[in-house]
Amino acid sequence: MNRPPERRLSRGTAEGFTLRRANPADVPFIMATERLDGYETLVGRWEADTHAAAFADPAYRYFIGEFAGRPVGFALIRDWASPAKVTCVKRLAVVEPGQGHGSLFLRRAIDAMFEETDTHRLWIGAFPENLRARRAYVAAGFAEEGIARGSAFFGEVFRDEMILSMLRPEWQARRARDGL
């Protein structure tokens, strides 16, 4: 049955959504997203020169999620293809939380990290009070490991982080359950 595409993406709905590698021309979008209201205490912000250095560093990768041809979020990955086989999702943000873009974007980015590298452990930190992010990460297959006390120097303050991780066998099991 043909239905018009809905603006909100339901879980698993990928029509109109694409994931692509970011390039330096995406830095203005990335910086604008980092600076959205409310993100100053949740996401982190870099200046253009820091992003330029990360683009030039093979240990970093950026991804852009697009819906209907427009960017809806970005992910910044650290320790890409690390010899230790541990990769960090350093930053992930969407322009309009609550529209379903973040969940699909996160799943697509996770798939890219495991498919394009030999990563064994993928991890992400979330501030304990950021319940929306924590729920999204758990729904995507991350397991909460616990609190890393004072591990994030953020806004000139040391903050605790909830550490969540996913191992390659867990990702493979999720993909098998989802029929992928």
> How far is Cα 172 from Cα 82, in angstroms, rounded to an integer?
19
> How far is Cα 29 from Cα 73, in angstroms, rounded to an integer?
9
Give the pLDDT confidence score for residue 33 in this predicted structure. 97
pLDDT along the chain (180 residues), means of 10: 34 73 97 92 92 97 94 97 97 89 91 96 96 94 97 89 98 90
> How far is Cα 73 from Cα 177, in angstroms, rounded to an integer?
27
Give the pLDDT confidence score for residue 155 in this predicted structure. 77
Which CATH number belongs to the domain containing residue 172 in this structure? 3.40.630.30
Q: Is residue 3 a part of any domain in this protein?
A: no
Give the pLDDT confidence score for residue 1 in this predicted structure. 33
Residue 85 sits at φ, ψ, to 5 deg, of 65, 30
Q: Is residue 10 a part of any domain in this protein?
A: no
Q: Is residue 147 a part of any domain in this protein?
A: yes
Number of domains observed in the structure of the chain:
1
Q: Is residue 5 a part of any domain in this protein?
A: no
Give the pLDDT confidence score for residue 10 in this predicted structure. 35
CB 74 within 8 A of CB 62: yes
> How far is Cα 33 from Cα 143, in angstroms, rounded to an integer?
26
